[in-house]
A and B are shown apart, each in its own frame.
Chain A
Amino acid sequence: MSEEIYQQAIKELAQAAHGAGRLAQPTASVRLDNALCGDRVTLDLRSEGDTIAELAHETRGCLLCRAAASLLAREAPGKSADELARAHAALTALLQGDPAEPLPWPALSIFAPVRAYKSRHGCVLLPFRALREAIGSSDRTD
């Protein structure tokens, strides 16, 4: 039900907009669109070695997309590319109904009710896809 999707934790995360804005000197930048709904994430990344030092984003999207971007920006700094890939995979599995136990980030569980609405999975995953592309492009420039 939509009220389960739009629980307070999601609204608060979207409202908090952790990491909103752009970085002055990113090591990688990616802009990604969700063609279905027009949501857009522009994500800046500053890496130090294999670790995400800073992450910022401008997100034009629905509550789910903004909450996911906010969560990502809150959790990513200090994490390695592998840890972020595991979180991305865990979120994907959660949406597909096959959640990893335990979740690498407990807060990912707030997206569990979205599982029933396949058309919205892309909204939640868009910031994570943007980060994966940014890490990939960062790798290529190293």
Chain B
Amino acid sequence: MSFDALALRREFPLFAAVPAPFHYLDSAATSQIHGAALDALVRHESTRRANVARGTYRLAEAATAAYEEARAAAARFLNAADAGEIVFTSGATAALNLVAGAFGATLQAGDEVIVSLAEHHSNLVPWQLLRDRTGVVLRFLPLAADGRIATEALPAMLTPRSRLIALTHCSNVTGALTDVPAVVAAARAVGARVLLDGAQRVQHGPVDVQALGVDFYAFSGHKCYGPGGVGVLWGRGEALAALPPVVAGGGMVGEVTPERTDFAPPPQRFEAGTPPIAAAVGLGAALDWMAGLPWPAIHAHERALLDRLLRGLAGLPGLRLLGPADAAARHPIVSFDLAGLHPHDVCQVLDRHGVALRGGNLCAQPLMRHFDVAGANRASIAPYTTAEDVDALLAGLADAIRVLT
């Protein structure tokens, strides 16, 4: 089945707005917003703007219905058992912090949370804060030389005090996919829960949380062709129901007296205050759009571009690839060191070629230390990426070597 990336590109307003040459290779940081998501957001703000789950007038009813339909879209995208398992947050970071706060509140000093050394800071620092606040023990899964999480080490690490394993589904640095079945099997053996940070996985197609067998899943709207300022925490029904609220306010309560408060069931228990309504509606449209895409053909397209990129990078002097050399073991996120040149210098030169490339520590300093680099260059491929984008990157990198040395 063929896939026309150029035709898809025309569905993204930004590509018509930015003058050529423009080669966007930073979708791992923020993907471009699809026209359907943008239209849904604008339409909602233009025609149905009202607070949700409060008013009884028709406009408020329409706003609530749109918001709840977005929740249903997120549930379909994740194959959640029930839309009530979807909590809207401000992003993946907020979703991960929500679990750290709420699940963390159920833990005792000495209980163990396991993360890896490959985590984005947003799935590391919340757990450090929890550890420092409560005496929970934070343990680290080691990494293989190529940066993959050594999940085979997990069974020997787990103890009866292991309560949660919180890992990235897909590394934001190497694109490496975590061996989720191995993690879930190990977790079940000791009764631990599993949280996946799906921020880098969701832009590559729908996810089946029931098939994965995990307990919590977090992602951001701005990384899957939706608006910024919205994200999702999915929690298995009974897992969410067992958690206390961490942020309090309107909309998450039952009866409130001066002495005490009854809390609403999930998901409202975790959505205090006015949620990001229009952004959620836009995200729902993005997720519905994604659900209708020909993913096998898109994956073949992305894989062809990944192979083209890896082949081209291999021909550059002094290039060191960070992450698995096997394209099958990763999503199309490629980080590399270019002859020791500083990533910000490289990215500056690439910008002159119209190539938007990310450079820096990529919010993953422990993983940078693992690779013994201060920072890295990162190119990320999305369905709208073309061979011309990859070729422009490769030409720009060759020029960067010339300019910077």
CB nearest neighbor in B for A123: B344
Within A1-48, the residues touching B (CB, 8 Å) are 1-3, 5-6, 11, 36-40
With an 8 A cutoff between CB atoms, is A61 at the interface?
yes
Interface of B is mostly: helix
The total of chain A residues at the interface (CB under 8 A) is: 19
Contact A60 B352 (CB under 8 A): no
Q: In the complex the two chains form, what is the Cα distance from A29 to B6 in whole Å? A: 55
CB nearest neighbor in B for A36: B360
Contact B404 A63 (CB under 8 A): yes
Contact A60 B345 (CB under 8 A): no
Q: In the complex the two chains form, what is the Cα distance from A6 to B341 in whole Å? A: 13
Within B27-49, the residues touching A (CB, 8 Å) are none
Known: A2-B352, A11-B404, A38-B365. A62 touches B342 (CB 8 A): yes
Contact A117 B348 (CB under 8 A): yes
With an 8 A cutoff between CB atoms, is B403 at the interface?
yes
Contact B342 A6 (CB under 8 A): no
Contact B348 A5 (CB under 8 A): yes
On B, residues with C-beta under 8 Å from A are: 342-345, 348-349, 351-352, 359-361, 365, 368, 374-375, 403-405
Chain B residues with Cβ under 8 A from A63's Cβ?
342, 345, 404
With an 8 A cutoff between CB atoms, is A120 at the interface?
yes
Q: In the complex the two chains form, what is the Cα distance from A1 to B350 in whole Å? A: 11
Contact B361 A2 (CB under 8 A): no
Q: In the complex the two chains form, what is the Cα distance from A6 to B403 in whole Å? A: 7
Chain B residues with Cβ under 8 A from A39's Cβ?
374
Interface of A is mostly: mixed
Chain B residues with Cβ under 8 A from A2's Cβ?
348-349, 351-352, 403
Contact B374 A60 (CB under 8 A): yes
Q: What are 27 contact pairs spanning A and B, CB under 8 A? A: A2-B348, A2-B351, A2-B403, A3-B352, A3-B403, A6-B345, A6-B348, A6-B349, A11-B404, A36-B360, A37-B342, A37-B343, A37-B359, A37-B375, A38-B360, A38-B361, A38-B365, A38-B375, A40-B374, A60-B374, A62-B344, A63-B342, A63-B345, A64-B345, A117-B348, A120-B344, A120-B348
Known: A6-B404, A38-B361. A61 touches B342 (CB 8 A): yes
Report the minimal beta-carbon distance from B152 to chain A, rounded to whole angstroms: 31
CB nearest neighbor in A for B350: A2
Report the minimal beta-carbon distance from B271 to chain A, rounded to whole angstroms: 31
Q: In the complex the two chains form, what is the Cα distance from A14 to B380 in whole Å? A: 30
Report the minimal beta-carbon distance from B392 to chain A, rounded to whole angstroms: 15
Chain A residues with Cβ under 8 A from B403's Cβ?
2-3, 6
Report the minimal beta-carbon distance from A54 to chain B, rounded to whole angstroms: 27
